[in-house]
Amino acid sequence: MNASFQALAGVSYVSLESYRKSGAPARTPVWIAADGGKLYCWTLSTTGKIKRIRANANVRLAKCNASGKLEGEWVMAEARILDSPAALKAQLRRLRAKYGWKLLPFRLISFLRRAPTLTIEFSPASSD
């Protein structure tokens, strides 16, 4: 894992830049957790970032604050959507370990919306 990618494991928020069909970037601040040299994000299955990643797995990641303001340099990555119950369980465990009680409101929102949740796995881009 390259140093820039690895450094993102310790930050609270990461800006995820995925791309619309037109090629225009869309940025979203997300929580991430690291495991085994990869980074992971948890999200509702109905979000735009899931649709965009299904169409184009190439993304960029950068340290940001809660509102998405960039605080670091972009790192190229490849995203993969994991939809198995085991992947979700592992990601919730990672997020609970990193964010603790702060995760509870987001779990409640996903429960109330009754929308399935997915895990996004990030690896350093092959060209990095």
Structural domains in the chain plus CATH codes? 3-83+94-124 (2.30.110.10)
The residue that leads in pLDDT, 65 or 98, is 65
Q: What is the pLDDT of residues 14-27, one digit of tens each?
A: 999 999 999 999 99
Predicted pLDDT of residue 122: 97
Q: Look at residue 65 and tell me whether its pLDDT is greater than 70.
A: yes
Place of tokens 């702060």: 102
Q: For residue 22, what are the β-bridge partners? A: none
Q: Look at residue 48 and tell me whether its pLDDT is greater than 80.
A: yes
* Cα separation values, 126 from 26, 46, 57, Å: 22, 28, 12
Q: What is the 3-state secondary structure (H, E, C) of 12-77?
A: CEEEEEEECCCCCEEEEEECCEEECCEEEEEEECCCHHHHHHHHCCEEEEEEECCCCCECCCCEEE
Predicted pLDDT of residue 107: 66
Q: What is the pLDDT of residues 84-117, one digit of tens each?
A: 888 878 877 888 887 777 767 776 776 776 778 8
Predicted pLDDT of residue 128: 46
